[in-house]
Amino acid sequence: MIAEPPTERSPGLAPRAWLIWSLAAVTVALSTDNPVYRGLVALAALNVLLTWLPPGRRVRPLTVALLFAAGLAALINLVAGHTGADVMVRLPSDWPLIGGPLTVESLAYGGVLGLGLAAALLAVAPLSLVLEPHDVVDAMPGPLERTGIAVATSLNLVSGFGRTFTEVSDAQRMRGWRPRGLRSWNEVLVPVVLTAIEDSVRLAEAMEARGFGAGRRTSYAAASRSRRDLAVVGAALGAVGLFIGLRLGGAAVDWYPYPTLYLPPINPALVIGCLALALPSVAMPARVRPPAPAAPRSANG
Amino acid sequence: MTGLPGRLGAVLALTAAALSVAALASLAPGSPLISKCAGAGLGHAAVMVEHADGSVITRCVSFGTATVTGQALIESSGVAWSGQTFGAYGVAVCAMDSEPLHYTTCPGQDSYWAIFVSRGGGAWQLSSIGISTLTLTDGDAEGFRYVPAAGTPASPPLPAGVCAAASPTAATARQAATPTAAAVLATATTATAAPPATTAATAAATTAATAAATTEASTAPTVVASLLAIAGATTGVAPASSVGPAAAGPSQSPRSGVDPGLLVAALAGGGLGGLALLRLVAARRRAP
């Protein structure tokens, strides 16, 4: 196998630091119902993403997904939860599920749910928008490495399945096939399934030829841990520890707007914990430097 | 394998989101009905239940621990009830003393059982947490009123006198001891009007905090505790109230100054939001 020369890359955070940061931010965002903490986590994650976003990467799909998830969560809670003292509109009670009073409190709590989803999505966004695919695999703990590759490869087959379906159905149409009932789809589905199986076998052979499963995954350069990585990991773990510790200690971490709205309780220590998650946005990516010469080892997997 | 981390990230996010939504929406069955008789114990707390037709049930429940949850209190009171757990809120009361007789949704769409708490004989405060999370101590009261879903729920009748015969000493001592912080605040605001009286009240109330520990366990009311209670009452001091997260709720007692937590959160949110806006503008300028 011909080893490609190492490409010039920005010396950013270590992939494992990114993974720990993402998991910590998701944990904090979903461990509380308080909109203040969730909003701060979302803002911190947004800052981190904007700081490290490589040029040319599009954020529009993420923005659309955020708005859709948050809006849907707020809408569902508004129309399905009929609790609260401040009624905005009263729908006829014989309407299934949505009938009854629509309250400000339900809307507020739906907004909190949506904010949590938005914060969680923003927290995991760097794994797809900042890191390269092999970085994510490298970031996984050793025992999960092969499982991660297998799962990722399986997910990759889904899009391949879709492509094959389009190609086969187009080819069949050109041969005069037209959909007429369920049975007629056999002429499309059978070739699609057979093609998918052939693709899987071909992929498995290709991976085996590249040494998948022969040993631990190797790389051209050994991953190094900088002080910046340690600081980011420490801040992320500290934030999670703070939230869990104070929750176990009986501090008011959550907010529940029923039956009437009130200001969420805010603990300054937890605010600082949320701010700690913004540390990667302060640890700016360094200037692009020529890669250090490293003796290439084997490149299997 | 291009795009794999994107799918991994999306799967992770969707899984986490689904778990959180499921956890929030999960409903657990309510507690079984338990009937017990009120008896002698270390502390006493009143339970008041007001039906939609205005009929009121009162109970004085004793307990042997320093604090008791609202759920344990209602279970010990002998009033039949059922409830459901709503995530972080805790247990909500769905039916009480056969009102409503049957229900399909909890809380009810038209009416529901509002939960109130009174600290040390003070005014009712609407609780923003469920009865499983609500903690009460000696001299407190837990109130329930079946109210319409729309509008601000009206509170039940005042709990004064429900537990008066049960623990006069403890109630008196607590009333004198709890206003310490509030008494200091009252001194600051009314010092120019009547300095000698407020100073005396503050000193008395401060002493009460230490005296309460001894008087609370006693069976006979002491003269000191009674005098301190009167001193607290004459300065217009309201008993301290805190219902966990509900301390910041709609019925909280007025605070002076700015909440430091709110200030820190506003600064942090403003800073992060401003920074994100600047980065967005810079990214747009860089874009071709």
Give the tens place of pLDDT for each residue, B33-52.
223 334 456 788 999 999 99
Contact B17 A117 (CB under 8 A): yes
Separation CA B157–CA B56 (nearest Å): 8
The pLDDT tens digits for B179-213 are: 333 232 222 333 333 333 333 333 333 333 333 33
Is residue B96 one of the residues assigned to a domain? yes
Both B94 and B194 in one domain: the answer is no
Q: Specify whether B108 is located in the same domain as B208.
A: no
Nearest to B176 by CA among B123, B139, B134: B139
pLDDT single digits (tens) B65-92: 888 889 888 888 888 888 888 877 888 8
Q: Which pLDDT belongs to residue A283?
A: 64
Look at chain B and report how many structural domains it folds into: 3
Distance CA B13, CA A15 (A): 18
Residues of chain A contacting residue B265, judged by C-beta atoms under 8 Å apart: 36, 40, 266, 268, 271
Percentage of residues of chain B with pLDDT beyond 70: 52
The reply to whether ipTM tops 0.90 is no
E-strand ranges in B100-189 read 111-118, 125-126, 135-137, 141-148
Q: Which of B148, B168, B197 is the last residue of a domain?
A: B148
CA B272/CA A208 separation, integer angstroms: 48
**pLDDT value of residue B4:** 43
**In 3-state terms, what secondary structure has residue B126?**
strand
pLDDT digits (tens, 9 = 90+) for B249-287: 333 333 446 778 888 999 999 999 999 999 888 888 877
Whether residue A197 lies inside any domain: the answer is no
> B269 - beta bridge partners?
none
The band of B16, judged by pLDDT with boundaries at 50, 70 and 90, is very low
What are the C-alpha distances in Å from B62 to residues A13, B34, B143? 60, 15, 16
Q: Are B109 and A100 in contact (CB under 8 A)?
A: yes
Q: Which two tokens stand for residue B128?
A: 């923003």
Structural domain range at position A66: 15-141+225-282
Please count the residues of chain B: 288
User: Rounded to the nearest 10 degrees, what angle do helices B4-25 and A15-30 cross at?
Assistant: 20
> Rounded to an integer, what distance in angstroms lies between the CA atom of residue A143 and that of residue A223?
17
Chain B residues in contact with A90 (beta carbon < 8 A): 150
Option in B86, B249, B262 nearest A266 (CB): B262
The DSSP bridge partners found for residue B63 are B43
Asked whether residue B13 carries a pLDDT value surpassing 50, the answer given is no
Does B68 fall in a domain?
yes
- Model confidence pLDDT, tens digit, residues B125-175: 888 888 988 889 888 999 999 998 877 888 888 888 888 654 444 333 333
Q: Does any domain span residue B110?
A: yes
| Inter-chain residue contact A265 with B17, CB threshold 8 Å | no
The dihedrals phi and psi of B118, each to the nearest 5 degrees, come to -125, 130
Of B288, B281, B172, B189, whose CA–CA distance to B233 is shortest? B172
A5 lies in some domain: no
Co-location of B126 and B53 in the same domain: yes
Given a contact cutoff of 8 angstroms between Cβ atoms, the answer to whether A156 and B3 are in contact is yes
Number of compact structural domains in chain A:
1
- Residue B263 gets the label, from left (phi > 0), alpha (psi -120 to 50) or beta, of alpha
- Structure-token match 């080819």, residue found: A171
- Shared domain check, B273 and B222: no
% pLDDT > 90, chain B: 12
Residue in B2, B11, B12 to test binding to A, most A beta-carbons within 10 Å = B12
What is the pLDDT of chain B when averaged over all its residues?
62
Would the CB atoms of A265 and B247 count as touching at under 8 Å?
yes
Q: How far apart are CA A119 and CA B102, in angstroms?
A: 40
Residue of B19, B105, B111, B264 to mutate when probing chain A, most A C-beta within 10 A: B264
Q: Is residue B250 part of a domain?
A: no
What angle, 0 to 180 degrees and rounded to 10, lies between the N-to-C axes of helices A35-52 and A268-276? 20
B166 domain residue, yes or no: no
Looking at the domain assignment, is residue A289 inside a domain? Answer: no
Residues of chain A with pLDDT under 70: 1-11, 221-223, 259, 283-301
Could you say which DSSP state residue A211 is in? T
pLDDT at B221 over 80: no
Question: Domain residues for B79?
Answer: 28-148
* pLDDT at A299 (0 to 100): 43
Inside any domain, residue B50:
yes
DSSP H helices in chain A = 15-30, 35-52, 60-80, 104-129, 133-139, 142-174, 186-209, 227-248, 268-276, 279-282
pLDDT, tens only, B236-254: 222 222 333 333 333 333 3
Question: Which of B91, B94, B275, B280 is the mutation pick for testing A, counting most A CBs within 10 A?
Answer: B275
Whether residue A136 is contained in a domain is answered as yes
Q: Return the CATH number at B94.
A: 2.170.130.30
